[in-house]
Amino acid sequence: MWETIKSDVIEDLVEMKKYTGLETLYITGISMGGGLSVISYIDINHLGLFKEVKITTFGAPRVGNKYWAAHFD
């Protein structure tokens, strides 16, 4: 799902940053949106567009592969 909207979201974030000058981005999500927030955080933070990217999720499923889940419980 993230891959289908990724380019549009990033394009919008670049425009938003240009017009607002915001330095901190907050990403939130509930349930499936929380899982999507975690996945999107990786790409958005990697851009380096914002000084700080914070994420808060509510009732989100675990995101990651079996290795990740087994080592961070």
For the segment 32-55, what is each residue's pLDDT rounded down to a tens digit? 989 899 999 999 999 999 999 999
CA–CA separation, 53 vs 44, rounded Å?
A: 8
Tell me the sheet residues that pair with 25: 53
Average pLDDT taken over every residue of the chain = 87
pTM listed for this prediction = 0.77
Distances (CA, A) of 8 to 29, 35, 57: 18, 19, 22
Give percent above pLDDT 90 in the chain.
66
- 32-54 b/e (C-beta count within 10 Å ≥ 16 → b): eebbbbbbbbeebbeeebbeebe
